[in-house]
Amino acid sequence: MSTSTRTLVLLSGLAAVSTLSTTIILPSFPAMAGDLQAAPQEMALTLSSFFLVFAAGQLAVGPLSDRYGRKPLILGGLLLFILGSLLGAVATDLGTMVAARVIQATGVCAASVLARAVARDLYDGALLAKALAFIMVAMAAAPGFSPLAGSLIDSQLGWRSSFVLVAAVGALLALSYALVLGETHAPEARSTAKPGSVLTGYLQLLGDRRFALPAMAVSLVIGGLYAFFASAPAIMIGGMGYNSVQLGLFFAATVLVVFSAGILAPRLAQRWGAVSVALAGSLLALTGGVAQVLLYDGQALTTFSLAICLFLAGMGLINPLGTAITLQPFGDRAGLASALLGFLQMAIAALGTWLISAVTLPPALTLGALLSASALCALGAFFAYPLSRAAQPA
């Protein structure tokens, strides 16, 4: 079976819509706070509530899809996401907005986590790596372009239009999924596991180093990506004097690095092997993190761009290949494995963004330390992976 462009675009959209719905509203926080009669710092509740529900929801969605199929979870989740988005568009107070974000997260977590599971249903080996490369690039691209789009929408149409836009995207994805893919998890392949055994299944995955090592490597570099997005405003606006539009343009430019590395990753993996290329990506990301630590004091845009581009290039290699390595041995539990991987990614992303604000060191130095630590741990995980694969039969 070959990967069709239409299928890849659809899966990428399903994976990216959750990030789009969050990062597109970031430039609108001041206007939203005024309209909702909330303090600016209280707007953080719209993020923390979303991430908390999104992370936890994935743990339920994965096993439910393994038992009942992907289609009802994806279509039902997108419908809930649309309703939450429309509620956000008409919210007049912070409590309603937080409720809207919770509803959005409850619905969209299914689309995000099951995009990877559907890819595992459809593809194997090199084709799986190719499909996941497109999906991971889309997930990385969404926070690059959407803040710029959000600032333009806010200035021309108002922040409520951003919620209407993401509701329309959700409707388009639901229609496309129903027409293009439908159910990909055959009834004879479905799990009959009861709720009590789901927890056991998660614990078994965490105890299997074939899953745990690459899953943690991917999650750590994703955490580094979100730490970059969380710290860039303080570094570039507060430290270098750039404005929000220039920051949005910088985010958009960094997407080209992630996109190029993500597209290149499966081609390199076919020649040198996925683990070897992931190791090289870890070294590249580590170089960027160390460069950020060494160059943070009085940093200019050129040195900041150099360090970040090195890290993002490494992340762009690690993300699709590490995800494919993580899911490859667990085709019979693709939903469960994808859900746990998604939970780990969101949990570590939440930790990384919290550390950016909690640590009292300069944001540029904190970012460099987090990028270095995440890349170093990823390097160790991929280095140990061949030993775990030999020790535990597939």
Cα(150)–Cα(69) distance, rounded to whole angstroms?
34
Domain at 5-180+192-384: CATH code: 1.20.1250.20
Tell me the pLDDT of the chain (394 aa) as tens digits.
445 777 888 888 888 888 888 888 877 777 888 899 887 556 767 877 887 888 888 888 877 777 777 888 889 999 999 999 999 999 999 999 999 999 999 999 888 878 877 877 777 777 777 777 777 677 766 776 787 788 788 878 888 999 999 999 999 999 998 888 777 666 655 666 566 677 888 899 999 999 999 999 999 998 898 788 777 777 887 788 887 677 778 888 887 888 789 888 888 998 899 899 999 999 999 999 999 999 988 889 999 999 999 999 999 999 889 988 998 888 777 767 877 888 898 888 878 877 877 788 888 999 999 999 999 999 999 999 886 554 454 4
Task: Please enumerate in sequence order all residues whose Cβ is within 8 A of that of 334, keeping only pairs 6 or more positions apart, or say none.
Answer: 66, 116, 117, 120, 121, 327
Nearest-CA neighbor of 371 among 332, 298, 313, 331?
Answer: 313
Cα(224)–Cα(307) distance, rounded to whole angstroms?
13
Helix (H) or strand (E) segment spanning residue 319: helix 301-327
Cα(136)–Cα(222) distance, rounded to whole angstroms?
10
Helix (H) or strand (E) segment spanning residue 12: helix 5-23
The token pair at 320 is 């699709």
Global confidence as pTM: 0.75
By the 8 A CB rule, do 108 and 53 touch? no
Question: What sign does the CA torsion over 365, 366, 372, 375 have?
Answer: negative
Nearest-CA neighbor of 112 among 137, 135, 133?
Answer: 135
Cα(17)–Cα(9) distance, rounded to whole angstroms?
12
Question: What sign does the CA torsion over 236, 365, 379, 334 have?
Answer: negative
Cα(63)–Cα(190) distance, rounded to whole angstroms?
10
Nearest-CA neighbor of 381 among 325, 341, 310?
Answer: 325
